[in-house]
Amino acid sequence: MDTDALASTPETRFAALGITLPKTAPAPIGSFRNVRCSGNMIYVSGQGPVRADGTLIQGKVGSEVTAEEAREHAKLVAVNILTALRDAFGSLDRVGGVVKLLGLVNADPDFERHPFVIDGASDLLAEIFGEAGIHARSSFGVGSLPNRIPVEIEAIFEVAASAAVDQAR
């Protein structure tokens, strides 16, 4: 295989960033699963900012958490989304790209920088998936989130063309 092609896979881009994925994705906190596939679409349930050691980040954005901190939390949420994908598929290279994100920010009523916060996740996913990581997105503030987390993000991805062929066999 062409070494230039290898250098530009989601797995190699991720490794080049020096970010370590947790061993497993955080367990769902309700009656659902982290990842569900339907056809060539991959749906990732809402994930929160859980550190690799299991520590849950909490706080209300705008009063207890700054926008800049929340942006980093959104990046951590993207790492947890990627971990859920790797758990489900064995490799990020089996994921073709990001279709859409829905970002929720647990914010004070006067907070207005929701897109800035969710950009933390969007920017990381674009770095990992390249052009296929540029996605549609909604972001908005809510009055509360489970366990007082500052950010929750759900995602829709598509299966890589090569992985879809493998699934069909």
CA distance 65 to 46: 20
pLDDT single digits (tens) 9-61: 998 898 888 887 888 888 888 888 999 999 999 999 999 999 988 899 999 99
pLDDT at 19: 84
pLDDT single digits (tens) 51-103: 988 899 999 999 999 999 999 999 999 999 999 999 999 999 999 999 999 99
Range of the domain at 139: 3-168
Amino acid symbol at 116: F
pTM of the model: 0.90
Find the CATH number of the domain harbouring 145.
Answer: 3.30.1330.40
Read off the pLDDT of each residue in 131-150 and give the average, rounded to a whole number.
96
Closest by Cα among 153, 134, 167, 165 to 47? 153
CB of 7 closer than 8 Å to CB of 29: no
pLDDT band at 7 (very low <50, low <70, confident <90, very high): low
Domain count, the chain: 1
